A and B are shown apart, each in its own frame.
Chain A
Amino acid sequence: MENQVAFVSMPSADEFRAVRAATVKALENAGYRVCGDWSVLESGRPWQTEILDALASADVIVADVTGPRDNVIYEIGYAHGRRKPVILIGRPDSLSTLPSYLRNYQVLLYKPDDFEELTYLIYQSVKRLTSRNAR
């Protein structure tokens, strides 16, 4: 089977660098190719086109709802509009600020200094998706 593609929707601030790395690691371990990362974006194309194309081509989206950031919420809406599975992650306090549209989705919570459990949870989630798609 060809590599499945995952998109990581996360604030670009430095404080999210570690959780992004952990997320990417979990996805790659599960056999996914990660797109939509700063380093993978083609240069010379409008930012928005690039992001939305990446989203549209992804098989799964992992989105960090800490904050939440407007861009992330927009990208989740876009992914839902395309009927893509979206895995939500966030710090414990993100539950209280979750937009009402997302309140009936599970959020995988992580502590800002410990990503081991998160890596495991994301791995499990996408693995479940892969096996569901394979069936």
Chain B
Amino acid sequence: MSAAKKCFVVMPFRPEFRYFYLYVSAHLKEEYGLEVERGDDRIESRPIAEKVRRQIREADIILGDVTGANPNVFYELGLADAMEKPMFLLTQDDVEKVPVDVRALELIRYSLDDEKALRDKLHKALSNFLWERYKELYEQGRQFLRQYNKDTGANYEPVCEKDFELAMVQAERIQSIPVDDDDALRGFLLPKIIGPALLDVNLMERMQSWWVKTSRHSRKMPRKRRGMVKATAAATPRGAASTGRKRGNARARRGL
């Protein structure tokens, strides 16, 4: 799983869309941590068609603008559909003007003079998409927290789905989710599922030592190193940076 999700934007290359593209790509990057790309504006030769095909294949999500029914846009959307990519479509036109082939897809009508409405609609569409990815992790995080509560007699509540999603989006800008390492995943998810409560340094320490104690290789770990894990966690308050460290140490331990 790469660090940032890729969004490929399919849009006409007319100059009036240039600014809109810049705006949308900046927005998607800032708000959702997406890496945004679009095809080259000179598609005259085979290699560029191949490049666009590759960009679409590598994308996690497609955002298309079907305003003004541009044939190149429909071609790219057809490609993306064949590759079974999730697609969101924008249009400034009436829905009746949109071709039947794409009318069944999620269609967001917008107008250039209502920025807020566009952002709201985009948010609705994108958070459903992002949530699909985080749902399972949220469940896992809750399980870890239950385990922690059970082991230590604590009684912490998980954050709501929305806050969890936000924490995940922020974290994913910096690192990838360690899905294939259970210990690392636990260390990654716990701070996100417990949220602001972790600002309490004592809790953080307790949680940290619990994590170390319950990790697979903890017994083999030399004393000195265990101390180091604690120290780094205490030095970096919460969120991605501290879990990143933990992950590093988990790796180092496995190497022992």
Contact = CB atoms under 8 A, between A and B. Distances in A.
Interface of A: 46-48, 51-52, 56, 68-71, 73-82, 99-104
B101 A75 contact: yes
B69 interface: yes
A51 B99 CA distance: 13
Given A73-B71, A99-B72, A78 B78 contact: yes
B87 to A, nearest CB: 12
Contacts, number: 85
B69 A70 contact: yes
B71 A70 contact: yes
B104 A46 contact: yes
Contacts of A46: 104
Nearest to B46: A104
Interface of B: 43-46, 49, 52-53, 56, 69, 71-72, 74-83, 99-104
A75 B44 CA distance: 20
A47 B79 contact: no
A71 B43 contact: no
B78 A100 contact: no
B209 to A, nearest CB: 52
Given A100-B44, A103-B44, A78 B79 contact: yes
B255 to A, nearest CB: 43
A103 B49 CA distance: 11
B44 A77 contact: no
Nearest to B71: A99
B76 to A, nearest CB: 6
Contacts of B101: 48, 51-52, 70-71, 74-75
B197 to A, nearest CB: 47
Given A70-B99, A71-B99, A74-B102, A81 B74 contact: no
A102 to B, nearest CB: 7
Contacts of A73: 71, 74-75, 78
Contacts of A56: 82
Given A99-B72, A101-B72, A77 B100 contact: no
Contacts of A77: 74-82
A117 B103 CA distance: 36
B43 A101 contact: yes
